[in-house]
Amino acid sequence: MTLMAEATNQSSALSSDESRNHDLGRSPETLFASRRDALIGGAVILGGAALLGAVDTSGGRILCPFRLATGLDCPFCGGTRATHSFLNAEIGRAFDHNVLVAFLVPVALLIGVLLLWRGITGRGWRVPIPTRNVWIALGFITVAFWVLRNIPAFSWLGSS
């Protein structure tokens, strides 16, 4: 088989995969591309938020294995309490428990609402797949927060 014929076969295979994805309502550039997936994703996000908002998270045991082993906070220590506080309109307390999570909660709620809306109506915003650079930036932010919250000069970042 010649190189030209092989390239043509590969091109037609790709276009058939793309048309199959289009026919199924899937897009390679978006998460939750189908209405069903968007509906399920939105319901899980908002249902989880409702559960965390309703459950009393005060007191209790330390659940973080990193904190149990080292005595230091991981990036998400206090995240459950921060989410609960945020959902109960205790914004200051949410930031006291975990600054990073307190910033992420409204973003997650907005994504949940938009996904649910698109799942119900078929219209609305599609969640783009984050680029590699976005993931790298989020990783740097998380690691920097992790390190800073365990330095005594930045003790105000630790979970309370």
Per-residue model confidence as pLDDT tens digits over 5-59? 554 455 444 444 444 444 444 455 777 888 898 899 999 999 999 988 888 877 7
- Which carries the bigger pLDDT value, residue 62 or residue 27? 62
Say if CB 159 and CB 150 are below 8 A apart: no
**Residue 95 belongs to what H/E stretch?**
helix 91-97
Confidence (pTM):
0.72
Of residues 147 and 127, more confidence is placed in 147
Whether residue 79 contacts residue 101, with contact meaning beta carbons closer than 8 Å, is answered with yes
The SS3 call for residue 88 is coil
**Residue 52: per-residue pLDDT:** 86
Residue 49: the pLDDT is 92
pLDDT at 105 over 90: yes
* Helix (H) or strand (E) run with residue 128 in it: strand 127-128
- Nearest-angstrom CA–CA distance, 49 and 23: 33
